[in-house]
Chains A and B, each alone.
Chain A
């Protein structure tokens, strides 16, 4: 009991110093949490992937299309429930800065993605309108799209300006669903392209394949690829998760850099915290000697120093962790559709707490050693 009382009294002796140290901890733990969340957001696409969906693309690369007639051949493979085509449109809305993904898809696509919740009436309106578009909730909020709005998009792969009419807004089944996408009819794209740039017509970017039995994913993928072996356009089929991770892997260097940097801020705050504890211990060397002279052992002194260090580190970090949530929400709102999913995960909070404990403990190491080793005579003679 006395120990805890001593720890708190000691921690509050230099209010300014303790306050500043805690402020530093708040900043460090907060930015650490945000950086971890940024990295998580990168992997969000892979997290949201369903195990019963496969993606078939051209084996050369994603930018090389497949002929449209592959659809029926893929559908004939045993175990395949449904196939839908999707084309990456890569259009620009007003300014290249306003990036959001646009896909030209077949109506069957939406039945395969039950996590996109679309009101029935809106979906019917979308299917009836050739130029109709379905947009995600987050995208609609970012650019203020409302049902009935005309949205002009300039094509980069498919030339010309394309105008779509928003017919529906979809919500996500949970926070992990990407609601920053823009969908429109593949038929509309193909028919327009036929007249404008015929060489781009009847080409498909990817096929989404729904399978009945998740355990047969590998087998079915091989079967699909075998169909087109030695043809002009060989295919590569993989699970949706593998497909998404393939994207993330290519930018891995940046992710690693961000992760490394997020640990640097922990080292920065460790230096600050260790300094605070070192100064504190130096000033109190005389007191430690007095306590020793009174008969308190080295263990008691160590407990006192570790206790103080941990108390400061944990209090500061707690505030940091609590602040992470509102700041992350604000950040996500500012970033708009750039990070479709931006959620502080449980792992992040655990990592933050672990770092706090590590910083608190590491900062107390040297001061505690010094307090245990100091001889009573030297300690009493010391001046801060």
Chain B
């Protein structure tokens, strides 16, 4: 027969301060554990949302990023003529030849000079990115010095509101609109006409070419044909995969650092649980003796103490996840090392993270309480009853 669960619960209630301190330490560890995963998930979600599944993105071979890439006009024309590229309603090919330039803008408030991606698009550029909506103002006109800015960028930088002007590339550019792009990396970008930007920055080559495939499966045949073409030294990828790769370095950094920290910190919290449980056992030797004398078995005593410790972990887990869920209100913006430009993303809480964080909390409870529970279970009845 088992010892009632109420026994363990009541023990925690009697020593409130100890319970609060022990689960408080665990809560902080769970907070770190969850927050790091939320950050990583948010970063990846932002970059995955940037790519459309049936779009391809062409860059120079081994360039890896759009800013270090260059696609010459002739090469871009060859891509445009491929049969696997879909056509729009007007019969024009769904191809956007784009130019990507990094410009430096001062951040609102701090004035820190920050790299911002400026993307020049072709006429089909918007149709290729259906996630993009103009929230305020209007779309820029092709052939003019007009630009639109992403909503997270508009919030964080000076001069990025509708009607204001920005100066770069030896020209004044008028902001005509602010757009939302479904929480993707585009939200941190400035968009304008590719030809205008290329003139301003005296560029002869595009940075990348984005195109829609007639069907998603056509990529392999297209890639094979283009690879064999000696005029082209280009890499062709699905747009989604391309942007996913842009998150890899940062994502690895965050998850490695986060996991290492969580594990190290959890050692501290588990030691806390161990101290608490050892003293719980030491203070209740006579009580344990009585329980044994009443007929409860060693295993029951072990479970009762282990359960008490797991409860501590559970309280810590709930509080920690609660704290971490508040982090969803925070938006973080930092330089993405791979694209070398500013990227804004949110802490994103998923059911998976809630589950794994809670499991982590329970595990801390089990590991911290196991040795003390074993000690309680191994007490000799006679000695225990004699203890004061």
Query: A residues engaging B (CB < 8 A)?
Result: 14, 16-17, 20-21, 23-24, 27-28, 31, 35, 59-64, 90, 92, 96, 154-157, 159, 197, 199-200, 230, 232, 234, 236, 246, 249-254, 257-258, 261, 264-265, 267-269, 271-272, 274-276, 278-279, 282-283, 366, 384
Instruction: Judge whether B7 is part of the interface by a CB distance below 8 angstroms.
Output: no
Q: Is the CB of A31 within 8 A of B264?
A: yes
Contact with A along B153-176 (1 / 0, CB 8 A): 000000000000000111000000
Pairs A–B under 8 Å by Cβ, sample size 11? A31-B264, A64-B102, A96-B249, A159-B60, A159-B62, A232-B170, A253-B333, A268-B28, A272-B268, A275-B21, A275-B272
Chain B count of residues within 8 A CB distance of the other chain? 61
Closest to B253 in A: A254
Contacts of A155 in B (CB 8 A): 62
Distance from A38 Cβ to chain B, minimum over Cβ atoms (Å): 8
Q: Which of B67, B102, B275, B340 contacts A20 (CB 8 A)?
A: B275
Taking the nearest CB of chain A, how far is it from the CB of B1, in angstroms? 28
Residue numbers in B under 8 Å from A60 (CB-CB): 101-104, 168-169, 201
Question: How many angstroms between the C-alpha atoms of A254 and B35 in the bound complex?
Answer: 13
Q: Are B61 and A272 in contact (CB under 8 A)?
A: no
Q: Which residues of A contact B249 (CB under 8 A)?
A: 96
Q: Is the beta-carbon distance between A156 and B269 smaller than 8 angstroms? A: no
Which chain A residue shows the least CB distance to B21?
A275
Known: A261-B261, A272-B25. A28 touches B233 (CB 8 A): no
A276 adjacent to B169 (CB under 8 Å)? no
Give Cα A2–Cα B117 distance, bound, in whole angstroms: 70
Q: How far is it, in angstroms, between the C-alpha of A249 and the C-alpha of B276 when the chains are bound?
A: 43
CA distance A199 to B192 in the complex (A): 23
For the complex, is B382 an interface residue (Cβ under 8 Å from A)? no
Nearest Cβ in chain B — how far from A374, in angstroms?
15
Q: Are B115 and A17 in contact (CB under 8 A)?
A: no
Q: How many A-B pairs fall under 8 Å by CB?
A: 158
Determine whether the beta carbon of B268 is less than 8 Å from that of A269.
Answer: yes
Task: Knowing A271-B21, A275-B272, say if A199 contacts B68 (CB, 8 Å).
Answer: no
Question: Is A279 within 8 A of B279, CB to CB?
Answer: yes
- Nearest-neighbor residue (CB-CB) of A154 within chain B: B62
Q: Is the pair B64, A156 in contact by a Cβ cutoff of 8 Å? A: yes
Chain B CB within 10 A, most for which of A64, A159, A274, A275: A275
Interface of chain B residues 59 through 87 with chain A (CB within 8 A)? 60-65, 67-68, 70
Interfacial chain A residues near B67, Cβ < 8 Å: 63
With a CB–CB cut-off of 8 A, which chain A residues contact B216? none
| Chain B 247-265: CB-based contact to A (< 8 A → 1; otherwise 0) | 0010000000100010011
Given contacts A17-B279, A64-B101, A275-B275, 7 further A-B contacts (CB under 8 A): A17-B275, A61-B104, A232-B202, A249-B114, A250-B342, A252-B334, A275-B25
Given the known A-B contacts A155-B62, A156-B62, are A271 and B112 also in contact in the complex, defined by CB atoms under 8 Å?
no
> Taking the complex as formed, is B113 at the interface, i.e. its CB lies under 8 A from any CB of chain A?
yes
| A258 partner residues in chain B, CB cutoff 8 A | 257
Q: Is B268 a contact partner of A24 (Cβ separation < 8 A)?
A: yes
Partner of A96, one of B17, B64, B265: B64
- Name A271's closest neighbour in chain B (CB-CB): B25
A264 to B339, CA, bound (A): 31
State which residues 23-56 of B face A: CB under 8 Å. 24-25, 28-29, 31-32, 39
Out of A31, A35, A253, A271, name the residue touching B334 (CB < 8 Å). A253
The 7 closest A-B pairs by CB, nearest first: A271-B25, A272-B272, A250-B335, A275-B21, A61-B102, A24-B271, A253-B334
Let me know if A61 and B271 touch, CB within 8 A: no
In the complex, are the beta carbons of A90 and B202 less than 8 A apart?
A: no
Give the residues in chain A near B269, CB-CB below 8 Å: 268, 272
Nearest-Cβ distance from residue B231 to partner chain A, whole angstroms? 14
Q: Taking the nearest CB of chain B, how far is it from the CB of A203, in angstroms? A: 11
B204 contacts A by Cβ under 8 Å? yes
Interface flag for B267 (CB, 8 Å): yes
Is A252 touching B62 in the complex (CB atoms < 8 A)?
Answer: no
Give per-residue flags for B190-203: 1 if the beta carbon is below 8 A from chain A beta carbons, else 0.
00000000000110
Complex CA distance for A154 and B114, rounded to whole angstroms: 28
Give bound CA distance, A272 to B27, whole Å.
Answer: 12
CB-based contact A251/B335 at 8 Å: yes
Decide yes or no whether B18 CB sits under 8 A from chain A: yes
Q: Is B274 an interface residue (CB 8 A)?
A: yes
Is B205 among interface residues, defined by CB-CB distance under 8 A? yes
Chain B contacts for A59, CB-based, 8 A:
104
Task: Tell me how far the C-beta of A150 lies from the nearest C-beta in chain B, rounded to whole angstroms.
Answer: 20
Considering the chains assembled together, what is the distance between the CA atoms of A272 and B39 in angstroms? Answer: 27
Given A63-B340, A159-B61, A249-B112; A264-B31 close (CB under 8 Å): yes
A253: B residues at CB distance < 8 A: 332-334
Whether the Cβ atoms of A252 and B101 lie closer than 8 Å is no
CA–CA, A366 to B269, complex, Å? 20
CB distance from A347 to the nearest CB of B (A): 21
B201 and A271 contacting across the interface, CB-CB below 8 Å: no
Assembled-state Cα–Cα distance A232/B261 (Å): 48
Contact A250 B115 (CB under 8 A): yes
Task: For residue B312, give the distance in angstroms from its CB to the closest CB of chain A.
Answer: 11
Query: Taking A90-B68, A254-B334 as contacts, is the C-beta distance between A267 and B272 under 8 angstroms?
Result: no
The residue that A156 contacts in the complex, of B18, B28, B65, with Cβ under 8 A, is: B65
Q: Which residue of A lies closest to B104 (CB)?
A: A61
- Nearest A-chain residue to B111, judged by Cβ: A249
Give A104 Cβ to nearest chain B Cβ, in Å.
15
> Bound state CA distance, A17 and B64, in angstroms?
54
Whole-angstrom distance between the Cβ of A269 and the nearest chain B Cβ: 5
> Taking each of B21, B64, B102, B114, which has the highest tally of chain A beta carbons within 10 Å of its own beta carbon?
B21
B275 in contact with A283 (CB, 8 Å): no
- Alpha-carbon gap, A151 to B88, bound state (A): 48
CA distance A16 to B15 in the complex (A): 20
Query: Does B22 have its Cβ within 8 Å of any Cβ on chain A?
Result: yes
Contacting residues, chain A, for B32 (C-beta < 8 A): 261, 264
> Nearest Cβ distance between residue B15 and chain A, in whole angstroms?
8
B278 on the interface (CB 8 Å rule)?
yes
Q: Which residues of A contact B25 (CB under 8 A)?
A: 267-269, 271-272, 275
Q: Say how far B272's CB is from chain A's closest CB, in angstroms.
A: 4
Per the bound structure, the CA–CA distance linking A250 and B344 in Å amounts to 12
Neighbour of A157 across the interface among B17, B68, B204, B334, CB < 8 A = B68
Most buried by A among B18, B24, B275: B275
Determine whether the beta carbon of B334 is less than 8 Å from that of A264: no
* Complex Cα–Cα for A155 and B65 (A): 12
User: Which of chain B's residues have a CB closer than 8 A to the CB of A63?
Assistant: 67-68, 101-102, 115, 340
Question: Given the complex of chains A and B, what is the CA–CA distance between A155 and B101 in angstroms?
Answer: 19
Contacts of B70 in A (CB 8 A): 197, 199-200
